[in-house]
Amino acid sequence: MRVVVAVDRSDPTFKLVQAVTRLYAPIELTLVHAVDHGLAQYPATGPAGRGTVPEELRPLLDSGQKILAQAAKSVPTELNLVVKQVCELGNAARVIINTAQMEAADLIVTGSRELSSEEREFTVGSVSHRIASHAPCSTLVVKQVPEQIRRVLVAVNGIDDAAQIQRWLLANPFHDPVEMTVLHVVPTLKAYREDTSLANHDRFHENLHEDSVRWGQNLVDTVAAKLSALPAQAPAAGRYKAHGHVATGDPPEVIVKESTQLDLVIVGAYGFQSEARFIYGSVTQKVLHGVAVPVLVIG
């Protein structure tokens, strides 16, 4: 597995490496640091093009190279990883995404620094959110690293993202067995949640809700069964012990609540790039904002 790790001045790189190595056994690690000085008129410039960098910006790149060198030293030698270093001038999210494309990465790992305002988080977005929403591969967003990853929540919205997540889990099995809860949340209108008498008198709403729950239960049971009952020759055989669960409510609120006793949340990037995301925020974006444990966004 080829992994790109975003190196930030404030996020200990070892924390990010530790998070990914508790799930997978990467063979190649690329550490990326972007020098974003807010000077959009300068194109992203890699180590090979340092001669074209304005003289006043060279100290910034030199400082970035030192940060990368320190980060590389923090990677445990016993992991036997091939470690590359990339320091470029430009927008952080763009530099990281471009590096992932050039390295044909399977996974980007980034820390998450919360912004002071939830409104700013949803309208402007943090670097980690921009990476997760536009990355060419899956993204692991890490706020804090649990002591072990044994209990995992897999949130599925529909057939498309369930299939996408299932393919990833089968192609990239965790190296240690985990217990998985495959969760589907049936949304309910706020009015019905606040005044249950409305739902009691609206048979159409009740029927629709019951149909949605049955459909969701069939979805999560199917996914859980496929993950749990793999043939012995499959690479992921014996790695996942999964069961399905259907809940009702606001999807991101339910996922955040369910995650409090777990070690990792997995969500799909399906619909993450819709135009409505920039106004209301997608479920994935709200989960990234609210969940304390690492979030693996399958893209």
From first to last of its 299 residues, the chain has per-residue pLDDT tens of 999 999 887 666 778 888 888 888 888 999 999 887 665 444 444 444 444 566 777 888 888 899 899 888 888 888 888 899 999 888 889 999 999 999 999 999 998 765 444 433 333 347 888 898 889 999 999 988 888 899 999 999 999 999 999 999 999 999 889 999 999 999 876 545 555 555 555 666 677 788 999 999 999 999 999 999 888 788 888 899 999 999 999 999 999 999 998 999 999 875 544 443 333 357 888 898 899 999 999 98
Task: Give me the pLDDT at residue 99, please.
Answer: 96
Confirm if 88 and 45 have CB atoms less than 8 A apart: yes
Residue type, 110: T
Q: Which long-range contacts (CB under 8 A, 24 or more apart) does 170-173 make?
A: 170/227, 170/230, 170/234, 170/235, 170/236, 171/235, 172/1, 172/24, 172/106, 173/235, 173/236, 173/239, 173/240
Structure tokens given for 3: 């992994």
Strand, helix or coil for residue 111: strand
Structural domains of the chain sorted by starting position, each given as residue range(s) with its CATH number in brackets = 2-142 (3.40.50.620), 151-298 (3.40.50.620)
pLDDT in tens, 135-167: 999 999 998 888 889 999 999 999 999 999 999
Q: Which of 149, 144, 182, 146 is nearest to 268 (CA)?
A: 182
187, 213 Cβ separation under 8 angstroms: no
Residue 79 is given by DSSP the state: G
